[in-house]
Structure 1
Amino acid sequence: MELKGNDYYIQGLQVQQLCDEFGTPLYLYDADKIKAQLDKLQEAFGGFPVRFKYAAKALTNISILKLMRHYGLGLDVVSIQEAMLGLKAGYPAKDILYTPNCVSFEEIQMAVEMGVMINIDNISILEQFGHQYGGSVPICIRLNPHIMAGGNTKISTGHIDSKFGISVLQMRHLLRVVKTNGIKVVGLHVHTGSDILDAEVFLRGAQIVFDAAREFEELQFLDFGSGFKVPYRHDDATTDLRQVGSRLKEAVAGFTKDYGREVEIWFEPGKYLVSEAGYLLVRTNVIKTTPATVFAGVDSGMNHLIRPMMYDAYHDMFNLSNPNGIQRVYTVVGYICETDTLGWDRKLNELKEGDIIAIKNAGAYGYSMSSNYNSRFRPAEVLVYEGKAHLIRRRETLDDLLRNQQEVEF
């Protein structure tokens, strides 16, 4: 979003006018920013055979999935429903990697019928898969490297207490199951979590995968997940992609020499692609002064953006309606019957009732984690692509809340 004079713009479109046209609260996405983030990844990891698969759980709107396909990405999904959406969005089944955890074997069977690449992350399912399919359906195996990485503990997925992946300490057991059932393993996967800053941590995970890969002769790819950190504050540190790419290139070259042939390197960027591309635009309902705090109460809350409450996540925000005003301190809160604080003690240009607040980094895990709590409607979603605003999800109505309910008369 760019400030010109007294107004903010995305791709030449005045954001205030978009709020007037589509209403608030509003999720607004900038396709140019998504493409710019993808370009950074392709530049950083251009020294070896690489493929990127968009992690759909970050933002599953079907138009976003189609946009990612248009940009040449494959798809990483974590549920059979996301796999269905991927097929609906036009992805060939072979370009979809299905990485569930703690699902029933029936869901695995559905994925086999769909023809997507299945990523198995526990020995129980691996055994059942081997008994039924043997080597007739190639698979990927997700490993747990026992590496603590990422920011909030709720988004760290590669440590010893994590539910994700087959422990590297179970490698001998894993190999016995694979050999006994003749399972065809064509990929290995590891993902340590989000907000990775240290290239060394990333490379430690990669080395564990390289070591494990020597036990499998038919590998076609190694998948290193993602977790690249995006900035949430103006002075935030971010993942040095150039450094990670350079170091990984060396490591891949060494592995290729030992393995005897090239395999593809896969990444699954989700938040990295869409977080900074998204804004949640909310309208100030009330300015409420108490003896201790000045609250700005807005027409949204934890039902639309739960990350501040669930992860203690920080989302920068600014007064879109008064970009050049003096700054005052506000605590921005929602309209939900909970303490749904979106931002404590924020310096914002002076707010008045009716002003629009833009909440940044709302593209990832914003709408996709939203709910109808308090029977509130979920907002509209708008994508700006090539200078045009496209409504990609309409605002909900009462009919949406009632659609699947069955009334009983008393």
Structure 2
Amino acid sequence: MRHQRTTEATSGPIRACAHRPASRRGSGNHVAPQAARYDDATIGHSERRQGPEAVSALFDRDGTLCVEGVSLTDVAARHGTPCFVYSRAALEAAYREFDGAFAGTPHLTCYAVKANSNLAVLDVFARLGSGFDVVSGGELARVLAAGGDPRKIVFSGVGKSEAELRQGLELGIHCFNVESSSELARLDRIAGTLGTRAPVSLRVNPDVDPRTHPYISTGLKESKFGIAFAEALPLYRRAAGLANVVVRGIDIHIGSQITALEPYREAAMKVLELVDALASAGIHLEHVDLGGGIGIRYRDETPVDLASYAAMIAKLFGGRRESLLFEPGRRLTGNAGILLTRVAYLKPGERSFAVVDAAMNDLLRPALYDAWHDVRPVRRCNERPRIWQIVGPVCESADFLARDRELALVEGDLLAILSAGAYAMVMSSNYNSRPRAAEVLVEGTTMHLVGRRESVGELFARESRLP
């Protein structure tokens, strides 16, 4: 028996869905449409305000959760579940807040495509004039398809193929973040065959502990990423002597979901020592790429305050000749999206399970990192709350989306899994031959289907039986 829904507001400072129109100004040749604008423009945990990452574009209207001006019940009715839902207002607010923090410093913000590579998300950032950090030919192709400027693209990654290096050279990208002496030699050779010079930054490993999950720690000396600090100066000398290479900068990236300021300070100071040593050797750099990794609030973290970070960077780099590059990913998209799912079955007992139609193939982070994502019913009911394990249909004991959550649920309920705008859809799979979820981007009171749900036929369309 379905219980009657209440219309009481959900917990936390969630606002009504009323919206205020505002004009948008695009960049380049894009024409930006009119849409709603919100002061509170992030879909994330909102019970404790802590800067823009802790405010919410998740609103309550008559007891129903909405993203901007669209109710999640309407999204589910039109596009089904599971479904990722993104807020354009939240994406734009996050970008402007990050990029604006460095307004007094010559810089380029390059969104890290790995966090969320949906074309509509990339389109939003391209219209704002963003650069892009890519790590594969596929990501590069996505940026171009979304209207990104090749001259604002940096190509990172430890294993760039010959075809990827050639593609980047032919497009005239801003630079390659080179991660080994072998890659440098290959890039020099390919550039020579094309009759051009390859713009290069060396990714240096500063051996700094970012104090984050070990799987996303990339700045320690035992990491596969980057060039050992002691080897950087001789490799720069070698690069400067290559006929088909132009040394443009230096790059670091110490990790992801970093919530402390000190690792950034330590890494930046080590890099500056190397930059000055290079200058003394006659190698003058155009830019310093400080990477990304600034964390967001999923549960009770205290993320790095952007104003404090920007002030620290300004103090360290003020008056220097080098411009700066940044590669934010999660910081721009993480709290701009949710995963919408429906409760299929309830299994109350000594350990109670709520089986939903989303699974670890849709959102891998809880299974992979034991990550926390806030879970909220789209509408509340009068059922007595109990402690639930939120699990999916996949045949793995690790298939959980949330553990030990006190919720009032009945079968058929819609749930919003928050902070699902980064490292969610991009890490999804077809495990158990499950089609990948739909993706919707909300713009004021309009919902756009920006990623259609896969069909069962598409799961094996590229395969064939034996003759």
- TM value normalised by structure 1: 0.93
Partner of 1:224: 290
Contact 2:70 2:444 in 1 (8 A): no
Question: Equivalents in 2 of 1:187, 1:10: separation in Å?
Answer: 41
Q: How many angstroms does 1:92 deviate by?
A: 2.3
SS in 2 for 1:184: strand
From 337, 344, 349, the equivalent of 1:285 is 344
Partner of 2:409: 351
Q: Where in structure 2 are the equivalents of 1:1-400 lying within 5 Å?
A: 1-116=58-173, 117-133=175-191, 136-182=197-243, 183-214=245-276, 215=278, 217-233=283-299, 235-253=300-318, 256=320, 261=321, 263-290=322-349, 292-322=350-380, 326-339=384-397, 340-348=399-407, 350-400=408-458
Question: Equivalents in 1 of 2:382, 2:275: separation in Å?
Answer: 57
More displaced stretch, 99-108 vs 361-370 = 99-108
Contact 2:109 2:326 in 1 (8 A): yes
Q: How many angstroms does 1:51 deviate by?
A: 1.6
- Any idea what the Cα deviations from partners look like across 1:55-93, whole Å, max 9, x if unmatched? 111111111111110122111100011111111222221
SS in 1 for 2:406: strand
Residues 150 and 115 of structure 1, relative CA distance in 2, 3 Å threshold: farther
Residues 194 and 323 of structure 1, relative CA distance in 2, 3 Å threshold: farther
Question: Equivalents in 2 of 1:357, 1:132: separation in Å?
Answer: 51
Question: Equivalents in 1 of 2:112, 2:436: separation in Å?
Answer: 22
Q: Which runs of 4+ in 1 moved over 6 A?
A: none
Residues 198 and 175 of structure 1, relative CA distance in 2, 3 Å threshold: same
Query: What is the one-letter code of the residue matched to 1:159?
Result: L
Contact 1:285 1:354 in 2 (8 A): yes
Query: What is the one-letter code of the residue matched to 1:266?
Result: L
SS in 2 for 1:2: strand
Q: How many angstroms does 1:240 deviate by?
A: 1.4
- Any idea what the Cα deviations from partners look like across 1:322-358, whole Å, max 9, x if unmatched? 177653210000000111011111112x100000111
Question: Equivalents in 1 of 2:362, 2:108: separation in Å?
Answer: 32
SS in 1 for 2:207: coil
Structure 1 unaligned spans of 5+: none
- Any idea what the Cα deviations from partners look like across 1:7-66, whole Å, max 9, x if unmatched? 112222111111111101110001111122122213422231122111111111111111
- Any idea what the Cα deviations from partners look like across 1:337-389, whole Å, max 9, x if unmatched? 111011111112x1000001110111101110001110011111000124310
- Count residues in correspondence: 400
Q: How many angstroms does 1:132 deviate by?
A: 4.9
More displaced stretch, 40-49 vs 338-347 = 40-49
Question: Equivalents in 2 of 1:175, 1:50: separation in Å?
Answer: 23
Residues 39 and 46 of structure 1, relative CA distance in 2, 3 Å threshold: same
Question: Equivalents in 1 of 2:261, 2:381: separation in Å?
Answer: 38
Residues 323 and 176 of structure 1, relative CA distance in 2, 3 Å threshold: farther
Contact 1:57 1:77 in 2 (8 A): yes
Contact 1:6 1:323 in 2 (8 A): no
Query: What is the one-letter code of the residue matched to 1:408?
Result: L
Structure 2 unaligned spans of 5+: 1-57
- Any idea what the Cα deviations from partners look like across 1:80-138, whole Å, max 9, x if unmatched? 11111111222221111111212334432232223222111111111333355478222
Question: Equivalents in 1 of 2:289, 2:236: separation in Å?
Answer: 19
Query: What is the one-letter code of the residue matched to 1:315?
Result: H
Query: What is the one-letter code of the residue matched to 1:189?
Result: D
More displaced stretch, 193-202 vs 54-63 = 193-202
Query: What is the one-letter code of the residue matched to 2:145?
Result: K
Question: Equivalents in 2 of 1:376, 1:308: separation in Å?
Answer: 18
Query: What is the one-letter code of the residue matched to 2:221?
Result: I
More displaced stretch, 356-365 vs 219-228 = 219-228
Q: How many angstroms does 1:238 deviate by?
A: 1.0
Q: CA RMSD in A?
A: 1.8
Query: What is the one-letter code of the residue matched to 1:312?
Result: D
Partner of 2:33: none
Query: What is the one-letter code of the residue matched to 2:426?
Result: S
Partner of 2:27: none
Question: Equivalents in 2 of 1:109, 1:334: separation in Å?
Answer: 42
Residues 293 and 66 of structure 1, relative CA distance in 2, 3 Å threshold: same
Contact 2:95 2:125 in 1 (8 A): no
Query: What is the one-letter code of the residue matched to 2:197?
Result: S
Q: Percent identity?
A: 34
Contact 1:126 1:177 in 2 (8 A): no
Question: Equivalents in 1 of 2:117, 2:190: separation in Å?
Answer: 32
Query: What is the one-letter code of the residue matched to 1:28?
Result: V
Q: How many angstroms does 1:150 deviate by?
A: 4.2
Q: How many angstroms does 1:222 deviate by?
A: 1.2
Q: How many angstroms does 1:5 deviate by?
A: 3.3
Query: What is the one-letter code of the residue matched to 1:53?
Result: C
Q: How many angstroms does 1:314 deviate by?
A: 0.8
Question: Equivalents in 2 of 1:239, 1:270: separation in Å?
Answer: 14
Contact 1:150 1:227 in 2 (8 A): no
Contact 1:187 1:219 in 2 (8 A): yes
SS in 2 for 1:211: helix
Question: Equivalents in 1 of 2:236, 2:295: separation in Å?
Answer: 34
Query: What is the one-letter code of the residue matched to 1:272?
Result: R
